[in-house]
Amino acid sequence: MNTITAAITAVGGYVPDFVLSNKVLETMVETNDEWITTRTGIKERRILKDADKGTSYLAIKAAQDLIAKANIDPLEIDMIIMATATPDMMVASTGVYVATEIGATNAFAYDLQAACSSFLYGMSTAAAYVQSGRYKKVLLIGADKMSSIVDYTDRATCIIFGDGAGAVLFEPNYEGLGLQDEYLRSDGVGRDFLKIPAGGSLIPPSEETVKNRQHNIMQDGKTVFKYAVTNMADASELILQRNNLTNQDVDWLVPHQANKRIIDATAGRLELDDSKVLVNIERYGNTTSGTLPLVLADFEDKLKKGDNVIFAAFGGGFTWGSIYLKWAYDKK
């Protein structure tokens, strides 16, 4: 029997219509377009304005885009992994609701949360299920409505985040394509540097926590930046070394879209030409779990069968890592 590898066979994406540009942010907080662009590379981000729609709406749209483009029957999907840091609600799984809404009623589903590394961790998990031979079609969705947890009076965070979702389908491959290797890590030292302080079991919601804006995302930008630059670059470099790859062997780097300077530092460590680095941060900002699949959705035309693709991400907690994948198809 041939060895099973887990390959991405389809992608989909969705971003809301409303554009929050740097110019608009200038009217909301003390900042300006030049300052934001220089430090982050972000020009605009998309925001889901509907008060009655949550992360599930974004995820459903991205999944439906994939299903339509790939022309697959949702009933054939075996399982769904919902990578998100902003679930619709506590306890009731967002992934379970999404599965039902897209008609994937034969699938079991659950949520996976590792902050901005959620989708990267989800790739490892989805691939493992496929490689086990038990499941044939695993849908991995990365989606976040970051506007629901951003304090728009805090210029340190409100300039960074946007809303969006992407989805990929993992299926068995017998040509040696798909996920080749992974290096995933975490360190609890990051707990205090990037977090939402209240709302969990440690500090339950109260009138005081709401008043103190403790349900919004907070970060120590300098510390997070330092750890992100070092760890994303280290993980990516190690993946290349471990698989005897040179920068010439890498066709594409798909980095988490948190900050253009972090992306540049990772590419620089690998000595990759800018033409090999896929970037859309200028249009969407940091969509957290949505960044990696949105990059794939935006640049699907460029990806060719057999291409060596390196993924890298870093998130709160801290969580980080890199994945080496061989692309499995040419877009029709």
pTM of the model: 0.97
Same domain, 189 and 102: no
Please compute, for residue 116, the number of CA atoms within 13 A of its CA located in the half-sphere on the CB side: 33
Q: Is residue 128 part of a domain?
A: yes
Q: Is residue 42 part of a domain?
A: yes
**CATH number, position 188:** 3.40.47.10
Same domain, 22 and 137: yes
Among 177, 211, 239, give the residue marking a domain's end.
Answer: 177
* Full domain range(s) for residue 48: 5-177
Same domain, 139 and 209: no
Report strand pairing: 108-112 vs 163-173.
Answer: unpaired
Catalytic residue status for 256: yes
User: Among 22, 216, 256, 259, which one carries the catalytic annotation?
Assistant: 256
Q: Is the dihedral of CA 102, 105, 111, 116 positive or negative?
A: negative
Q: Is residue 297 part of a domain?
A: yes
Same domain, 217 and 186: yes
Same domain, 173 and 190: no
Q: How many domains are contained in the chain? A: 2
Rounded Cα distance between 23 and 44, Å, is 9
Same domain, 196 and 318: yes
The DSSP string of 172-230 is EESSS-EEEEEEEEE-GGGGGTEE--SSSSSS---HHHHHTTTTS-EE-HHHHHHHHHH
Same domain, 205 and 228: yes
Catalytic residue status for 215: no
Q: Is residue 332 part of a domain?
A: no
Same domain, 148 and 233: no
What is the pLDDT at residue 326?
98
Same domain, 188 and 61: no
Same domain, 160 and 187: no
Same domain, 246 and 317: yes
Report strand pairing: 252-255 vs 308-315.
Answer: parallel
Same domain, 19 and 164: yes
pLDDT along the chain (332 residues), means of 10: 90 98 95 94 98 97 98 98 97 97 98 98 98 97 98 94 98 98 97 94 96 94 93 96 97 97 95 97 98 98 98 97 98 86
User: Among 173, 216, 231, 286, which one carries the catalytic annotation?
Assistant: 286
CB contact at 8 A, 8 and 309: no
What is the pLDDT at residue 2?
77
User: Among 116, 158, 216, 259, which one carries the catalytic annotation?
Assistant: 116
Helices (H) and strands (E) in the chain, counts: 11, 13
Among 143, 177, 211, give the residue marking a domain's end.
Answer: 177
Among 139, 158, 177, give the residue marking a domain's end.
Answer: 177
Catalytic residue status for 116: yes
